A and B are shown apart, each in its own frame.
Chain A
Amino acid sequence: EPEVTQTPSHQVTQMGQEVILRCVPISNHLYFYWYRQILGQKVEFLVSFYNNEISEKSEIFDDQFSVERPDGSNFTLKIRSTKLEDSAMYFCASSGPQPQHFGDGTRLSIL
């Protein structure tokens, strides 16, 4: 069964550094999303992406965040200058249009 893959599985970064999280969505899907889950809390929407542009973003997705689909397969989330509170699991999802299928996430740890 096709799946969403995310790399790396765990990223440790110093506060203030830039980090890029990578995702390979399911190949025939057209809609892409990033969510995050702070330890023990609910999954929260960050941003959705369709047709090479952002469709919708939450208040969490501020100017420090950006998304890109640099080629036909990858979908990336960049955090420009990480803060301690960015520590969380980040999940990529894709759909065509529903249901949304999630990857196993990247655990981002900010030191």
Chain B
Amino acid sequence: QQQVKQSPQSLIVQKGGISIINCAYENTAFDYFPWYQQFPGKGPALLIAIRPDVSEKKEGRFTISFNKSAKQFSLHIMDSQPGDSATYFCAASYLLLSGNTPLVFGKGTRLSVIA
């Protein structure tokens, strides 16, 4: 119930291409879905997040697509660049008025963008 399943485990994309990472969740109580980017030796850094009241959110080259009925969400990186090479984690939690809920992370996708 608390799992977030992420795929693929690793991804190689040509520079300028589109990177797509998928996640699926089970707990319908989840209502907050962030994506984190992690470079080696660094902590996860928030990239973009979405609530289930919208089906898509775009910030620059990064887009989250959200399918509530399928309980799936995905990250699209347009015009992928070598600097995007990192590990990407999807996560889920639920927002309370108290706001203090832990994130459940997927297993991560190691993205390599090659020139």
The docked-state distance in angstroms from the alpha carbon of A32 to that of B109 is 26
Contact size range, A: 20 to 34
A18 proximal to B (CB < 8 A): no
Contact A105 B43 (CB under 8 A): yes
Contact size range, B: 20 to 34
Contact A102 B43 (CB under 8 A): yes
Name the CB-closest residue of B to A6. B43
Contacts of B98 in A (CB 8 A): 50, 55, 97
Contacts of B114 in A (CB 8 A): none
List which A28-85 residues lie within 8 A (CB) of chain B.
31, 33, 35, 41-45, 48, 50, 55-56, 58
The docked-state distance in angstroms from the alpha carbon of A35 to that of B36 is 14
Contact A42 B43 (CB under 8 A): no
Contact B99 A95 (CB under 8 A): yes
The contact string, 1 if C-beta is below 8 Å from chain A, for chain B 29-51, is: 00010101000011111100100
* A interface majority secondary structure: strand
Interchain nearest-CB distance for B97 vs A (Å): 9
The docked-state distance in angstroms from the alpha carbon of A33 to that of B93 is 14
A99 proximal to B (CB < 8 A): yes
Contact A44 B105 (CB under 8 A): yes
Of B46, B89, B103, B104, the most chain A CB neighbours within 10 A belong to: B103
Contact B49 A97 (CB under 8 A): no
The docked-state distance in angstroms from the alpha carbon of A55 to that of B98 is 10
Contact B100 A103 (CB under 8 A): no
Name the CB-closest residue of B to A91. B43
Name the CB-closest residue of A to B6. A42
- B interface residues (Cβ-Cβ under 8 A, vs A): 32, 34, 36, 41-46, 49, 89, 93, 95-96, 98-108
